[in-house]
Amino acid sequence: MTSSNFAIVDRYLASELSARALALALSRGWVDSLLERERLDAAELAGQGRMAAEAARAVLDLLTAAGVVELDGGYRLTTGFRQALAARDLLEAKLWFANVVAPDVHEHFEALLTDVPRFMAKARVFELFRYDRCLEVTPENLAATRRWVGYTTTLTKYEAPAALARLDLAGHSSMLDVGGNSGEFARQACTLVPHLQASVFDLPVVCALGREHVAQFAEGARVRFLAGDLRGQDLPRGHDLVSFKSVLHDWPEDHAAAFLGKAVEVLEPGGRLVVFERGPLRLDGAPLSYAMVANLVFLPFFRSPEFYVEVLAGLGMADIAVDWIELEMPFFLVTARKVAR
């Protein structure tokens, strides 16, 4: 699972029209039928999709232009798209979220670039990420939170290997993943290091969903969830590795710095702190794919690693290093060691 997964998937999310045609084909069962039966003609697909023949042909034209299907004695999935389906969960997650955020970008593009508070007040996507719904475990709050936790879990499934491959985890025995969501990042770390025990600190509803997620895996038994709210609580002690994966960009600089301070305070002497985040978007003159609209909506929140380096240095951390990782956009890994006193 490397950057190639993102490149293969994003190829089929290049334009909004082709992406929406693909979403329709998935929802109407066309993709699954073509996987089962190899070839189908336009009339069969129209009938299955409960569409008029003209509408089905328009969708098929878009899918053909996008390289999803080809006409060869009937419509069939291309070899390239079949390869993309190896990461179908990633494809569907990115497709879903791009289509969720696109209306906000369309309607409030100027505010996105010039007035972030106004954009956040108007953009409907932020209703999805409601932390106030994560404090009390109720059926309603679980349902409201499940979709975005599922989305971020899928992203982490494909992002985490690139970061974990660059960390020497063998010397660590106890990991604390702050804001660790479903526990996917911690779970993958436990897969790599059989003796590692991991704790995930997150809001109560997120922890409840995380317990469901890690229970599917053998190594999930080594991932425990500690429900809390970092805004008003201290972190638990007793860990020689503390990580923040795609968490700190959600918060203003003063909050992010305070959270790092809490992590350094509880980190065992000689232990290591890790920040894995998206960096500022670099276009380099290239056209922006529709797949990137999901990241464009968070454009104002992506910081350079220098902010974290400065904060950690001010907290007395040593051996601070930055490692850039290219996935579907630039990521960076900041690592630092707590000096043993």
Burial 249-259 (b: 16+ CB within 10 A, else e): bebeeeebbeb
**What span, in angstroms and rounded, lies between the C-alpha atoms of 64 and 111?**
36
Q: How many CB atoms lie within 10 A of CB 2?
A: 13
Domains parsed from the chain with CATH numbers: 3-87 (1.10.10.10), 128-337 (3.40.50.150)
Q: Which residues contact 7 (CB under 8 A, 6 or more apart)?
A: 328
Please enumerate in sequence order all residues whose Cβ is within 8 A of that of 37, keeping only pairs 6 or more positions apart, or say none. none
Which residues partner with 177 through β-bridges?
200, 243
Strand partners, 73: none
Classify each residue of 27-55 as buried b or exposed e, where b means 16 or more C-beta atoms within 10 Å of its C-beta: ebebbebbeeeeebebebbbeebebeeee
- What secondary structure letter does DSSP report for 285? T
Closest CA to 243 of 273, 264, 220: 273
β-pairing, 75-77 vs 69-71, is antiparallel
End-to-end Cα, the chain, rounded Å: 39
* Rounded-to-integer distance, Cα 14 and Cα 64, Å: 13
Are 209 and 182 a contacting pair, CB within 8 Å? yes
Q: What is the pLDDT along the chain (341 residues), one digit of tens a residue?
A: 455 888 899 999 999 999 999 999 999 999 999 999 888 999 999 888 788 989 999 999 999 999 999 998 899 999 999 999 999 999 999 999 999 999 999 999 999 889 988 988 998 988 888 899 999 999 999 999 999 999 999 999 999 999 999 999 999 999 999 999 999 999 999 999 999 999 999 999 999 999 999 999 999 999 999 999 999 999 999 999 999 999 999 899 999 999 999 999 999 999 999 999 999 877 666 778 898 888 888 877 889 999 999 999 999 999 999 999 998 889 999 999 999 87
